[in-house]
Structure 1
């Protein structure tokens, strides 16, 4: 098995599209989370708001956890 890294431009069009779509979904979830977290009163959030803001930097997991478990 080769461990050679490939450049983005060397990937197939489908692979490039998948990466771009995944990145847009991740960015949208994070921005939406930050907006919701900033506007939502602390008593409507499970746990400290700063912890959820920090969790947002865990790609994929942080925003998904907030939308699933973080809001009352």
Structure 2
């Protein structure tokens, strides 16, 4: 499959890409803020590893989603 240039994409394709990028950015901000403010004993795994992954790995929202579902320990308030 040949790469398409941005100008060759339809309006719907451009919109889908922008929407996916916005969702990914929102999830990254949410997960990063949660990780930064959560005590290390409430995080499953090392905080530095989650932080590095959230900062460097482009996972199309998968890694932030994994952190939000599996990376946080449940507290009495959750």
TM-score (norm 2): 0.82
Match of 1:61 in 2: 62
Higher relative contact order (CA 8 A, sep 6+): 2
- Structure 1 gap ranges (5+): none
State how 1:17-32 maps to structure 2 within 5 Å.
Answer: 17-32=15-30
Give the root-mean-square deviation of aligned CA atoms.
Answer: 1.1
Identify the range of structure 1 (45-54 vs 11-20) with the bigger mean alpha-carbon deviation. Answer: 45-54
How many angstroms does 1:54 deviate by? Answer: 2.1
Task: After TM superposition, give the deviation of residue 58 of structure 1 in Å.
Answer: 4.0
CA distance in 1, matches of 2:25, 2:50: 16
> Which of 40, 48, 51 matches 2:49?
51
Tell me how many residue pairs correspond in the alignment.
Answer: 70
Unaligned runs of 5+ residues in structure 2 are 74-78
How far did residue 9 of structure 1 move?
1.6
* Off by >2 Å, runs of 4+ in structure 1: none
